[in-house]
Amino acid sequence: MPKINGSTILLGVMGDPIAHTASPRMHNAAFDHLGVNAVYVPLHVVSGQVDAAIHALRVLQFKGVNVTVPHKEHVMPFLDELDPLARQIGAVNTIVSINKRLVGFNTDAPGFLVALKEELRFLVAGKHVGILGAGGTAKALAVAMAHAGVGKLGIVNRTMASAQAIAAVVSGRCDVRSYALNSLEMRTFLSQCDLVINTTSVGMVLGESPIEDFSWVRPGQHVVDVIYNPGKTTFLQEAEHREAKILNGVGMLAAQGMLAFELFTGKTIPYDFMKQHILRG
């Protein structure tokens, strides 16, 4: 526990629900480790109260907050400034007070690239990547892939219009196509991918998977799920069974936290430190 006094810096994470967040554990351990006089608390903010919560951050002089589901998009209009990457992604997961101005950043997308590098030694440049899903996470990762110089990108979704909308956002920066989930074209594309990522919420219950047929998986292919609970989704189990190199969402969580910590404090903290403290929960 940090020693709290009159000059303790205030930070937190706002979302709904928030009770199961691992972020306070990770950030407070990092403050202790580096001797930073700061505290990081969960902030339960319900929909409809986002404007008031942002105002409260200003009044209470918080140094910053992370933002999680379901507020990553809703906070944006209430901030003073947006980092260009957050603006392009259309979602903010980190708010920092800089000279009394609230600035919105997105560390989810660059965090994902850090996790790929740290855990799988995987660099996106020139690679073929398939993203399953077309929600907020898929959009953030598509923008990250485009910025990292992806060779070919495929957005796979049940609802084609959402996949096409994401493809339109990144088409100026990379070679991108959309595919219908579980189509023959999808299977052909995925079989040629170096990396396939599940961003859909299907898989939080063991036995459920967004994909029915795993015949496309090749030994050595990189297969990632952004879900971290369960630690090994049915999607990852099926891929591992076919000798793919797998990774769950813990790495992304650790890396977005590491990058947010740097924005909050100006200090660096190792990726492994953040990951260990998430896994300790």
- Residue 78: phi, psi to the nearest 5? -95, 0
Minimal distance, residue 91 CB to ligand ATR, in Å: 8
- Altogether, the residues listed in the chain come to a count of 281
- Interface with ligand ATR by CB under 6 A: which residues? 133-138, 157-159, 162, 181, 199-202, 210
Which residue is catalytic, options 3, 63, 72, 139? 72
**Closest separation between CB of residue 157 and ligand ATR, Å?**
5
Given the complex with ligand ATR, which of 94 and 265 has the nearer CB atom? 94
- 8 Å CB contact between 200 and 133: yes
Identify the H or E element spanning 156. Answer: strand 152-157
| CB of residue 82 to ligand ATR, shortest distance in Å | 18
Number of residue whose CB is nearest ligand ATR: 135
What is the C-alpha to C-alpha distance for residues 262 and 192, in angstroms, rounded to an integer?
Answer: 36
Q: How far is the CB of 76 from ligand ATR (least distance, A)?
A: 14
Give, in order, the Cα–Cα distances in Å from 72 to each of 233, 239, 278.
Answer: 25, 30, 21
The helix/strand/coil state of 198 is: strand
C-alpha pair distances (Å), 86 with each of 46, 168, 185: 22, 17, 32
β-pairing, 64-67 vs 81-82, is unpaired
Q: In whole angstroms, what is the distance from residue 38 CA to residue 220 CA? A: 43
Active site residue 100: no
Element of type H or E holding 52: helix 50-59
CA distance 54 to 72: 12
Instruction: State in angstroms the smallest separation of the CB of 183 from ligand ATR.
Output: 13
Nearer to ligand ATR, 104 or 210 (CB): 210
Nearer to ligand ATR, 73 or 240 (CB): 73
Comparison of 28 and 107: residue with beta carbon closer to ligand ATR: 107
Cβ-Cβ contacts under 8 Å for 58 (sequence gap 6 or more): 97, 100, 102
Nearer to ligand ATR, 4 or 205 (CB): 205
Measured from the CB atom, the residue of 131 and 174 that comes closer to ligand ATR is 131
Place of tokens 């052909």: 188
Question: Considering the complex, what minimum distance in angstroms separates the CB of residue 208 from ligand ATR?
Answer: 8
Cα angle for residues 16, 249, 106 (degrees, 5° grid): 60
CA 85 vs. chain centroid, Å, equals 13
Active-site residues, by number, are 72
